Amino acid sequence: MYENIEEVINSKIRRINDIINFLRYLLRAQQEGMPIKEVKSDLFDAEIRLYPVGKNLVKAVIRVEPKIDIPQELLSLIYLSELATQDEEVLFKIAVEQSYKKMLVGGVLHLSAVLNKELIKTEIKRILTKIKRAFLALTNDEIRARIINEKRKLDKLVNSPQKNKREILITLMRLNEILLYEAPVRKD
C-alpha cells in the first residue's frame, strides 16, 4: 500500500513540476514577447513579436494593419498563400472550408512562423517583403483583376472539393504566385 501512495505522491510532484515549468515558460515568453520591430510603410504598419519555442527556435508573430483601403475579401486571400502555411493539404482545407475569410481580426492580418534564431533577421525581412508584394499586387489594377479572376475560379471549384482537388491546388498555386511574386517591389 505504501508503494502505491508513494507513486501517487511522485505523480503529483511531477505534475506540479510540469505546471511550474510551463508557468516559467509563459513568464519568459511574456518578457521576451515585446515588439522587437515595428515597420511603417505607406501600405501598412507591421509589428513583430518573438516568443521562444525551443533552444534554437522562436515563433515570430506578425501583426499587419493596412493603411490603404483593400477589401477584406481580397486581403484575406493572403491566408491562402505560403505566408500562412506551406502545406498544400492545409491550404486546401482552408480554401474548401473558406475559413480564410474569417481569419482577419478587425481588418488586421495576423501571421506567425517558427524560425531559426540564427536566421531571424533574414527570415523576417523575407516575410515582410512578401507582405509588401501582396499589398502592391492588391493595389495594382491589372494584377488585382487577375487575383479576382482566380478567386472566382476558386469559389466555383470548392463547391465540389474532392472532384476538383487538383484544380483547387493549381488555383491556390496561381493565387500564391500572383499575390507574392508578380508585383514589382518598389523602394520606400
Tell how far CA 172 is from the center of its chain. Answer: 16
100-156: per-residue pLDDT in tens? 888 888 889 999 999 998 888 899 999 999 999 999 999 999 999 999 999 999 999
Q: How confident is the model at residue 54 (pLDDT cuts 50, 70, 90)?
A: confident
Report pTM: 0.77
The structural domains of the chain, with segments of one domain joined by +, span 1-32, 33-181
Answer whether residue 188 shows pLDDT above 60. Answer: no
pLDDT of 120 reads: 86
Q: Which of 86, 97, 76, 82 is nearest to 151 (CA)?
A: 76
Tens digit of each residue's pLDDT (9 = 90 or more) over 84-109: 888 899 999 999 999 988 888 888 99
pLDDT at position 67 is 94
Q: In three state form, how does the secondary structure of 95-155 look?
A: HHHCHHHHCCECCEEEEEEEEEHHHHHHHHHHHHHHHHHHHHHHHCHHHHHHHHHHHHHHH
Confidence of residue 186 (pLDDT cuts 50, 70, 90): low
Among residues 170, 185, 142, 150, the alpha carbon closest in space to that of 74 is found at 150
14 vs 57: CA distance, rounded Å: 26
